[in-house]
Structure 1
Amino acid sequence: MSVKIRLQRHGKKGKPFYWVVAADARSKRDGKYLEKIGTYNPNTNPATVDLNLDAAVQWLHNGAQPTDTARAILSYKGALLKHHLDGGVRKGALTQEQADAKLTAWIEAKAGKVDAKKDGLTKAQSDAKAKAFKAETAANEKRIAAQTEAAKAPEAVVEEEVAAEAETPAAEENTEETEA
């Protein structure tokens, strides 16, 4: 029986969510599996991967072949590196402590890179929000200024009419005095 480590699709239409499973190569994509190893959610940025590292490495030791996407996920989480280091320990090239130290250092470096990306995305998102807020504030100020000018314009017209009416009777009086 040939065993594959592959993705099993879950989630709704347009919002995929995957389980990483070890399954018989002859079973259907979403069918029977031997063991659930983890989950993969590509909808988040960066993608969320939750993987049982020891179970994945055990299946790799037993000869399970990952699919291309599953291989990328296993590599991302360090399962392939641990499998490789365990092979070195079996051959006597290094001790278990050295292998564990290398794996821990790699995982910490990877976590630092992921955190840096998350911080960069958060900073970009907050900068975009601040820029949008400034633009909205400027638009609101323009709108308020236009409304106040529009409100002043009828008042000015009324004031001009009042002033014109005030001048008109005085002019009529002047005309009457000239005629007399």
Structure 2
Amino acid sequence: MVRIRLRRAGVRNKPSYRMVAADQDSARDGRFLEILGHYNPRDEPATIVVDEARMLHWLGKGAQPSDTMARLLGVVGTMKRFDRLKAGEPLEGLLAEAALAAAQPAVPAPRAARPNKKTKAAAAAALAAAAAPAA
């Protein structure tokens, strides 16, 4: 089975990744079929570049994205465009939309901050003050 996944590139402690179509059994940095884009998480914001036509081609052939790749493809909108392609929209229109979207930087959503004791206490005090009747 063909998987679309990340292949590590870059030097020690400075990772960047290539998006590749590879056989499921090949090693992480081993043999691959085609390079489909690249991802650099070290940039601010992270750089995600996808060859949309080839990505849609491999998805159409039945290639399965890894969990991380599915998240990245969701960020740039490729998975939504693939669903629309399966529904019958023409490929040319989707590729034009992808080119327009590629001109704007894709910014992954920031992770939600985990609340600490102070923010929990402040939220509880605000709820208690709102719930108390005004006398």
Ranges in structure 2 where 5+ consecutive residues have no aligned partner: 108-135
Deviation of 1:10 after TM superposition, in Å, equals: 0.8
Residue identity matched to 2:17: Y
Secondary structure of 1:15's counterpart equals: coil
Please list the CA deviations of residues 79-110 of structure 1 after superposition, one character each: whole Å capped at 9, or x if unmatched.
21121011111xxxxx539x937x839x65x9
Structure 2 distance, partners of 1:113, 1:17, is 16
Give the aligned partner of residue 97 of structure 2.
104
Secondary structure of 1:12's counterpart equals: coil
Residue identity matched to 1:63: G
Structure 2 distance, partners of 1:112, 1:20, is 17
Secondary structure of 2:93's counterpart equals: helix
Deviation of 1:77 after TM superposition, in Å, equals: 1.9
Structure 2 distance, partners of 1:46, 1:34, is 29
Structure 2 distance, partners of 1:9, 1:113, is 20
Residue identity matched to 2:3: K
Give the aligned partner of residue 122 of structure 2.
none
Secondary structure of 1:84's counterpart equals: helix
In the alignment of these two chains, the number of paired residues is 104
Q: How does 1:98-177 map to 2 (within 5 A)?
A: 100=93, 104=97, 108=101, 111=104, 114=107
Ranges in structure 1 where 5+ consecutive residues have no aligned partner: 90-94, 115-180
Give the aligned partner of residue 29 of structure 2.
30
Secondary structure of 1:13's counterpart equals: coil
TM-score by length of structure 1 reads 0.52
- Aligned in 2, Cα 1:44/1:85: closer, same or farther, shift over 3 Å? same
Secondary structure of 1:50's counterpart equals: strand
Structure 2 distance, partners of 1:41, 1:112, is 13
Residue identity matched to 2:97: T
Give the aligned partner of residue 9 of structure 1.
8
Please tell me whether Structure 1 or Structure 2 has the larger radius of gyration of its CA atoms.
1
User: Once the two structures are aligned, what percentage of the paired residues are identical?
Assistant: 37
TM-score by length of structure 2 reads 0.68
Q: More deviation in 75-84 or 5-14?
A: 75-84
